[in-house]
Structure 1
């Protein structure tokens, strides 16, 4: 396929996206915002607008080289790294001995079922096997403390444990009891972080080293474009994090978020988080997504066979994990009925939309995001991938999701398939 043969955005579509972006930023609906659309052979659209530091125009405007905190956009890359090792025959997706041998700290974890009257955690041994499939589909039993304060946050406080994004944290930042037997439920959590630890132990490389040698490098993405180790140059180009909470009464304020990247040094990073550790430009990530689209044919960073594992239902059998995922998406503010009525599932890399989305993505599409509202999707049938992002922490992202919905609808309403 040539660039001329891939799908294109009509001129009307380009103008409509420009208008939506301008209105979003000028009306202060969101901080600086980025829209990008790509086919397998290159960009169809990329634009951004807004203040690099919200409310401080003197600090300058964002541009395509502005860096943002990518957070859980890291997960997809880590999942691909693990799947590359599966392709090489070094590990298998459904082999429990992989976890037992290479992640013994995780293998040893019990399940927390509650608390005794005197405040001690009630722990029972795990019975089900634990596999890479469970880690990549969030069905391992691992969770996030901020999503389960009643259990995991309480456990961390009781044991005096530090969170995984704090400075100089090693594997101990991820060692927590499981919430349930592997394969029986879905819980968003640190499973992909453990997959990242697996990649590092099997290869002897950090994730930053492995990603740039085997994923980003082959796609022409440089070390200053996406990284776990923000250099001074990366930090100088960083968009300041913002927040909007009930305490701010709907107003956007500046806030460092979960980590103050501007003050981070490589020495502070500790264990690189395969679930949330990357900083970079959304344009570079869009280039990565273009590389994923190319993997439908041989010669990409993953094989066509592995591509199918990323764009198909790979959750363990049973209705409960799928119901849990739909409930989680609804809790996070998603209103798309294709995702909140049990029609959504998970692949070995992404949230998989077997029936597509009311917003436009066709059946067989997949998507995910970062917590600071950097959302993306990949649609193999339409032959496009897209990003709609900003950098804001908020409890109920109603305004962002409205913009994201309009963005997707505008893209699909103006997509022109090649007749070549």
Structure 2
């Protein structure tokens, strides 16, 4: 359930009940602080907002998986990422890291926020200095790395992870586990994606998300054990059935297409998530990729 966001956990911006803990509608003092800034485990130790195992609710599932992995192994999350993923896949410290190390810091770029209330188009982007909690070693008692996000790094580093998924790299998982992880887990459990996927409780962080990728059929999405949305029918941007993808909060989007053996990642460094113009850009890029792929294949047949 944690791998597919069906454990009932929610973020403050993805469900109104969770939002009440951080921004009480009656004007009272918040019950929780933003855990991605504080690193406090107690700040994402919140009540479930739905019955576990019944529906998709986007929330702190990955963060809890990170806490459990640390407790099970005795290693900090940064070391686990290095041992399990980065080292086997040849990812350099300058490409991806859970800590903002000297190897990465010089390349760090600011996150911007689209300000729809500004009357001037030239002033529609405001810089923000929001910074994820991170440490080089084991966080002190009561704190944890925010496993749901983010990694510091570049698209080249993350592309190596997508390539490993495409080839079902045995350095990461065995073939049987990869095969299982690619499948739509919701189909066998009788779970349907909610529509909308969620309505935002914090427009600064996220717009409403009606569906992750527009499908050519109703209810054309599921979730797999890689915490990705699976296309159970072709998407309107051209991705085939069986492809899957997910995103980062600052409008970073990626997909893996095992049918055609390709993948893609697009990074934008912009709040709020699922900004309509960002989604339009993502879909145009995907459409262009598949038009080019179709053209190349047509040329080979000719």
Which of the five TM-score ranges fits, normalised by the shorter chain?
Answer: 0.7 to 0.9
Query: What residue in structure 2 maps to residue 302 of structure 1?
Result: 173
Question: How far off its partner does 1:340 sit?
Answer: 8.2
Relative to 1, partners in 2 of residues 1:395 and 1:346: Cα closer, same or farther, differing over 3 Å?
closer
> Which of 177, 183, 186 is 1:312 aligned to?
183
Number of matched residues?
279
Question: How far off its partner does 1:222 sit?
Answer: 1.4
Query: What residue in structure 1 maps to residue 204 of structure 2?
Result: none
Cα displacement string for residues 10-47 of structure 1 (whole angstroms, at most 9, x for unaligned residues): xxxxxxxxxxxxxxxxxxxxxxxxxxxxxxxxxxxxxx
Cα displacement string for residues 78-97 of structure 1 (whole angstroms, at most 9, x for unaligned residues): xxxxxxxxxxxxxxxxxxxx
Q: Does structure 2 retain, via aligned residues, the 8 Å contact 1:374–1:389?
A: yes
Query: What residue in structure 2 maps to residue 170 of structure 1?
Result: 40
Query: What residue in structure 1 maps to residue 7 of structure 2?
Result: 140
Query: What residue in structure 1 maps to residue 147 of structure 2?
Result: 274
Segments of 5+ residues of structure 2 without an aligned counterpart are: 200-206
Q: Does structure 2 retain, via aligned residues, the 8 Å contact 1:187–1:325?
A: no
Q: State the SS of the aligned residue for 2:94.
A: coil
Q: State the SS of the aligned residue for 1:386.
A: strand
Q: Does structure 1 retain, via aligned residues, the 8 Å contact 2:35–2:44?
A: yes
Query: What residue in structure 2 maps to residue 153 of structure 1?
Result: 19
Segments of 5+ residues of structure 1 without an aligned counterpart are: 1-133
Query: What residue in structure 1 maps to residue 267 of structure 2?
Result: 389
Which structure has greater helix proportion?
1
> Which of 195, 217, 220 is 2:90 aligned to?
220
Which structure has greater strand proportion?
1
Relative to 1, partners in 2 of residues 1:267 and 1:221: Cα closer, same or farther, differing over 3 Å?
closer
Question: How far off its partner does 1:294 sit?
Answer: 1.2
Over the aligned positions, Cα root-mean-square deviation in angstroms equals: 2.9
Tell me: higher relative CO, structure 1 or 2? Use CA pairs within 8 A at least 6 residues apart. 1
Relative to 1, partners in 2 of residues 1:313 and 1:159: Cα closer, same or farther, differing over 3 Å?
same
Question: How far off its partner does 1:175 sit?
Answer: 0.7
Question: How far off its partner does 1:194 sit?
Answer: 0.8
Relative to 1, partners in 2 of residues 1:294 and 1:396: Cα closer, same or farther, differing over 3 Å?
closer
Question: How far off its partner does 1:147 sit?
Answer: 2.0
Relative to 1, partners in 2 of residues 1:147 and 1:335: Cα closer, same or farther, differing over 3 Å?
closer
The structure whose Rg is larger is 1
Scaled by the length of structure 2, the TM-score of the pair is 0.82
Q: Does structure 2 retain, via aligned residues, the 8 Å contact 1:353–1:366?
A: yes
Partners in 2 of 1:367 and 1:401 — Cα distance?
13
Q: Does structure 2 retain, via aligned residues, the 8 Å contact 1:334–1:340?
A: no
Question: How far off its partner does 1:248 sit?
Answer: 3.3
Query: What residue in structure 2 maps to residue 328 of structure 1?
Result: 198
> Which of 375, 379, 384 is 2:253 aligned to?
375
Partners in 2 of 1:361 and 1:411 — Cα distance?
9
Q: State the SS of the aligned residue for 1:385.
A: strand
